[in-house]
Structure 1
Amino acid sequence: MTGRILVIKLAALGDFVQAFEPFAAIRAHHPRAEITLLTTPPYAELAGRSPWFDRIWTDGRPGWGDLPGLWRLWRRLRGAGFARVYDLQTSARSSRYRWMVGDGVEWSGIARGASHPHANPLRDLMHTIERQREQLEMAGIREFPPPDLSWLDADVSTLGLPPRFALLVPGASPQRPGKRWPAAHYAALAAGLDLPVAVVGGPAEAPLAAGILAAAPGGVDLTGRTGYAALGAVARRAAFAVGNDTGPTHLIAAAGCPTLVLFGPESDPALCAPRGRAVAVLQRESLARLAVAEARAALAGLVTA
């Protein structure tokens, strides 16, 4: 198929990273098409670095009472002349966009009337990667080569990285504290390593980094200092990473860094754990009960595998 294709993936970072494989598969299947990604502002710059899209749009998140915003989005989608839409978000919000693109446009997803529906009643019990792959298979895509992420890179020479270091991701959504392994546990883990650590996260995680680095001097505080591309570059240089179930951890694993991911009760690794060259998962009903010794043992198996 040539012509114009729309891919929808709105949020969040971990889900966006797990769409890298389908993004690459769609581009490989439609090498001569003009492919537009509809996303949200936090991921526009990341997507724009990739080789998979010709245009990046953001949807503006218009509420269903925002008639001017809906009109602008409707006019843009309807006027683009898309031949096919791959809805990888498959949410109520993205499914409603089907009426905006107009009749006669092929649609892969779960929207009512989709020409290529993901017609599996157990789709919500599948891991995100397998679910998206099956959705695309039902739309005629058969090849899923590992995505080339060489573009996920940046100059990190000014960050002061040690020659060899471990990467820690102690943060997670502040609205979901159950997804965080206690900062004191990260500090104890870091103190027992035979290499320095670099702590990544947003500016709000700077206090976490300070506590960890107080217990393990010689490390680097990268909180608030790495965009997504720089995080990918840092991950490639790290010996290994330990992180909570949060978007940056997914990105680090996708970049090929051996990664130990810590899950609490709020998400199911069988459905959403990161995939990568070397990924190990530990889950507990309460992350406070996950002992540092258990994490250390899992790391030993990961980095010697």
Structure 2
Amino acid sequence: MSRILVIRLGALGDFIQSFPPFAAIRGHHAADHITLLTTAPFAALAARAPWFDAIRLDPRPAWWNLRGLAALRRQLRGFDLVYDLQTSARSSRYFWLAGRPRWSGIAPGCALPHANPRRDFLHTSERQREQLAMAGISTFPAPELAWLTGGAQPAEIAPPYAVLAPGAAPHRPEKRWPAARFGEIAALLAARGTTPLVIGSAAEAPLAAEIRAQAAATIDLTGRTTLADLGPVLAGAALVIGNDTGPMHLATLLGRPAIVLFSSASDPAITAPRYPDGGWPVILAAADLADLPVARVAAALP
């Protein structure tokens, strides 16, 4: 039995886009022991998934932190093969900390390089699939997600409902469509008989309050769902509308109809959520999301 390490640190959307590669690695190494190196926000979700035998947390020590680097070095040693799905400058340096094992990634001198000079112009899903193919993985099954969708939904939810994801990472305000415009869409959905439902962190509760001020039927789930809890909520949605954030990647992976809003802060050709068959959700883009009119989003509603 070989010891396999998979490196995927974040962010949430990137982590979710790696579900298909995780499934492919598990299928290719069915009899091997697979460890995931990730960061704390994703550990609980990864522990529930069927793809890993162990989870290790990367404390991401500063390069001057010799004690932290020594601890990380111990975590990286002892593996027969490493799949670096993060492929960042940081994770590539781990190749040396790990003792230069067989390595799939972009670390200089690694045995299984993703040798495509245009890799940074590929969508994340194509880039990771090509990386694994170059490392010898030829079968890419759709990831089994029953472990994620089988839980109970909050009691107040009843179909039909539409999920709104008005938030974004706190340091990326430019990725947010104004909450008041989400409120207008929520009112339109409610008038059509579809209950709006807002998801997000507790810090995004003010966004939900602004939406509810325009559509009183809206259900506020901000701060009430972990990443794992989102599975059954998104799986039952008639529609999901949101900014370019992690939950939108999960919604499309679950095959839900989705409208994703992009500013110039991200390139949808490289980072947009995708369906399991490779299809694309509805993508509405504006250089500044403050310039995206409600009418354009309303026209995209099914």
The TM-score range, normalised by the shorter chain, is over 0.9
Give the letter for the 1:229 counterpart.
A
Select 2:108's aligned residue among 108, 112, 116: 112
- 1:238-253 → structure 2 map (5 Å cutoff): 238-253=237-252
Aligned to 1:303: none
Matched, 1:129 2:128: no
Aligned to 1:70: 69
Aligned to 2:260: 261
Give the letter for the 2:110 counterpart.
A
User: CA separation in 2, counterparts of 1:156 and 1:281?
Assistant: 30
Shift of 1:246: 0.9
Shift of 1:221: 0.3
User: CA separation in 2, counterparts of 1:268 and 1:77?
Assistant: 33
Aligned to 1:176: 172
Output the TM-score relative to the length of structure 2.
Answer: 0.95
Question: Per the alignment, in what secondary structure is the counterpart of residue 56 of structure 1?
Answer: strand
Residue 154 of structure 1 contacts residue 229 of structure 1 at CA under 8 Å; is this kept in 2? no
Shift of 1:153: 2.9
User: CA separation in 2, counterparts of 1:159 and 1:88?
Assistant: 37
User: CA separation in 1, counterparts of 2:4 and 2:170?
Assistant: 36
User: CA separation in 1, counterparts of 2:160 and 2:64?
Assistant: 53
User: CA separation in 1, counterparts of 2:111 and 2:91?
Assistant: 15
Give the letter for the 1:16 counterpart.
F
- 1:94-109 → structure 2 map (5 Å cutoff): 94-103=91-100, 105-109=101-105
Matched, 1:149 2:148: no
Aligned to 1:140: 136
User: CA separation in 2, counterparts of 1:20 and 1:158?
Assistant: 25
Give the letter for the 2:98 counterpart.
V
Matched, 1:280 2:276: no
User: CA separation in 2, counterparts of 1:218 and 1:188?
Assistant: 12
User: CA separation in 2, counterparts of 1:42 and 1:77?
Assistant: 20
**Superposed CA offset, 1:47-69 (max 9, x none):** 11110000000111111011111
- The alignment yields a C-alpha RMSD, in angstroms, of 1.3
Residue 153 of structure 2 contacts residue 233 of structure 2 at CA under 8 Å; is this kept in 1? no
Give the letter for the 2:298 counterpart.
R
Give the letter for the 1:176 counterpart.
R
Residue 2 of structure 2 contacts residue 33 of structure 2 at CA under 8 Å; is this kept in 1? yes
User: CA separation in 2, counterparts of 1:253 and 1:157?
Assistant: 19
**Superposed CA offset, 1:133-184 (max 9, x none):** 1101110111111111111135434441133211000011222221111111
Residue 154 of structure 1 contacts residue 230 of structure 1 at CA under 8 Å; is this kept in 2? no
Give the letter for the 1:40 counterpart.
T
Matched, 1:84 2:84: no
User: CA separation in 2, counterparts of 1:34 and 1:118?
Assistant: 23
Matched, 1:35 2:34: yes
Count how many residue pairs are aligned between Structure 1 and Structure 2: 296
Output the TM-score relative to the length of structure 1.
Answer: 0.94
User: CA separation in 2, counterparts of 1:27 and 1:190?
Assistant: 40
Question: Per the alignment, in what secondary structure is the counterpart of residue 5 of structure 2?
Answer: strand
User: CA separation in 2, counterparts of 1:201 and 1:46?
Assistant: 16
**Superposed CA offset, 1:27-52 (max 9, x none):** 10110010000000000111111100
Tell which deviates more after alignment, 260-269 or 286-295.
Answer: 286-295
Residue 196 of structure 1 contacts residue 216 of structure 1 at CA under 8 Å; is this kept in 2? no
Aligned to 2:293: 291
Residue 166 of structure 2 contacts residue 198 of structure 2 at CA under 8 Å; is this kept in 1? yes
Shift of 1:255: 2.1
Name the CA shift for 1:148/1:107 in 2 (closer, same or farther; >3 Å). same
Question: Per the alignment, in what secondary structure is the counterpart of residue 209 of structure 2?
Answer: helix
Question: Per the alignment, in what secondary structure is the counterpart of residue 301 of structure 2?
Answer: helix
Question: Per the alignment, in what secondary structure is the counterpart of residue 184 of structure 1?
Answer: helix
Identity of aligned residues (%): 57
Which sections of structure 2, spanning at least 5 residues, go unmatched? none
Matched, 1:188 2:190: no
Which sections of structure 1, spanning at least 5 residues, go unmatched? 301-305
Residue 264 of structure 1 contacts residue 286 of structure 1 at CA under 8 Å; is this kept in 2? yes
